[in-house]
Amino acid sequence: MTHDLLTALRPLLTAEASAEAPASGAEPADLEQAVWLRLLERLDMHGPPLDPPGWLRRAVRSEARRSRRTTRLERPYGAEPADDTDRDPADLALAAARRRALRDAVRRLPGRCPRLIEALLSPKDLTYREIAGELGISQGSLGPERSRCLGCLRRLLTSEVAAREGRG
């Protein structure tokens, strides 16, 4: 039953994701992967939707909206002090401390997130295909997994660097 449903929905999902992806700023494969995950979660909790094609169209649009919101909220970071040409020892020490804090937080991530983030941070500048091969996962699932891992990393780092307010 589930296999038949997935096989029947695959062409529709590919078409819908390809149509929504350009406006959402996401790759069609990332939208597809996110919708497949959502469908599997739904099947596990509630069983198949009553109107699978309608549910799938709504799920693709919802994931595309989520991707647009995320893209709109993300801002690029300014240059790190270590990227400047003048190498002030204090700036180098701060940059080294930030790198240590990042590496420590990456090691505390759950599951295969540490390996994924280490691959993304690698000085080899690996492609998604190379990272997927190294981790033994599909290239299409790399984007959603990266997003989850970065979200976990962001929460870890936010709790560590949040300004502590004085008491009293």
Ranges 6-10, 130-134, 158-162: which has the least confidence = 158-162
pTM of the model: 0.47
Compute the distance between CA of residue 7 and CA of residue 28 in angstroms, rounded to an integer: 18
Is domain 89-161 annotated with CATH 1.10.10.60? no
Q: How far is CA 72 from the centre of its chain?
A: 15
Residue 4 has pLDDT above 60, yes or no: yes
Q: What pLDDT was estimated at residue 78?
A: 65
pLDDT in tens, 26-45: 889 989 999 999 998 888 88
Compute the distance between CA of residue 139 and CA of residue 50 in angstroms, rounded to an integer: 31
Q: What pLDDT was estimated at residue 69?
A: 86
Q: What pLDDT was estimated at residue 76?
A: 66
CB-based contact 84:95 (threshold 8 Å): no
Give the closest residue to 144 by CA, choosing from 118, 121, 119, 113.
113
DSSP state of 83: G
Q: How far is CA 22 from CA 8, 25, 67, 81, in A?
A: 24, 6, 11, 35
Query: Read out DSSP for 105-140?
Result: HHHT-STTHHHHHHHHH-TT---HHHHHHHHTS-HH
Compute the distance between CA of residue 24 and CA of residue 77 in angstroms, rounded to an integer: 22
pLDDT in tens, 51-103: 999 999 999 999 999 988 887 777 766 665 545 556 678 878 888 888 888 88
Which residues of the chain does CATH 1.10.10.10 include?
Answer: 89-161
